[in-house]
Amino acid sequence: MATKTKHTHFKALPKGSTGGVQLLLIQSVDHLGKQGDVVQVKRGFALNYLLPQGLATVATDHHKRMVEKHRSKLQEIEKARLKTLRDLSEAIAKQSITIEANANDEGHLFGSVSKRDIAEELQKLGHAVQPDDVKLDEPLRRIDTFTVPVSLAADLKADVKVWIVREKKEGEEAAKEGKQEEAAEEAQA
């Protein structure tokens, strides 16, 4: 029995001077370049990430001319994007979020607070923050106050104050409410 082999053909990608592939960035990519830059990357990175994600296109002469023609418009778009990110950064810096977590008597959490938890709390407050924007070396595992950096762009960072507090149990809330009512009655008497 003869088996059919699948032949895949890749588009001819322009080679750079260092043997890599030359691409034109459609969007800014951290640690690579800004929108409109012509960059050289390894073939696998181009085929497996940049091209399928729509972050770059083949750097043909036509594309290069189009970018040069529209560079001022691209700069205006980038300025508007950075202004929006700056405003978001200022708003985040003014924020303080509280996350309730289950903890033991020493204040160690039974779980942990991750980037995703912090991003979700910021999203609840109306801030467009993704978990990858939150820069934590490791998850937070104790009740305390933390200053957590949020990186919105390569050169734009903000710190958010994160308060991790012990989760209230139903019995504790009822007892606390009862004590508050008793104190209010005593104050009136």
Residue ranges in the chain modelled with pLDDT below 70: 1-19, 169-189
The CATH number of the domain covering residues in 13-70:
3.40.5.10
> What is the pLDDT at residue 8?
45
CATH topology of domain 86-171: Ribosomal Protein L9; domain 2 (3.10.430)
The string of pLDDT tens digits covering residues 84-128 is 888 888 888 888 899 999 989 888 988 889 999 999 999 998 888
Ranges of each domain in the chain: 13-70, 86-171
109/133 Cα distance (integer angstroms): 24
Strand order in the sheet with 96-101: 96-101, 156-166, 144-153
> What is the pLDDT at residue 146?
92
Cβ-based neighbour number of residue 85 at 10 Å: 16
Q: How wide is the angle at C-alpha 39 spanned by C-alphas 33 and 42, nearest 5°?
A: 115
128/144 Cα distance (integer angstroms): 25
The residue among 158, 86, 79 whose CA lies nearest residue 122 is 158
Terminal-to-terminal C-alpha distance of the chain = 98
> What is the pLDDT at residue 137?
87
**pTM, to two decimals:** 0.56
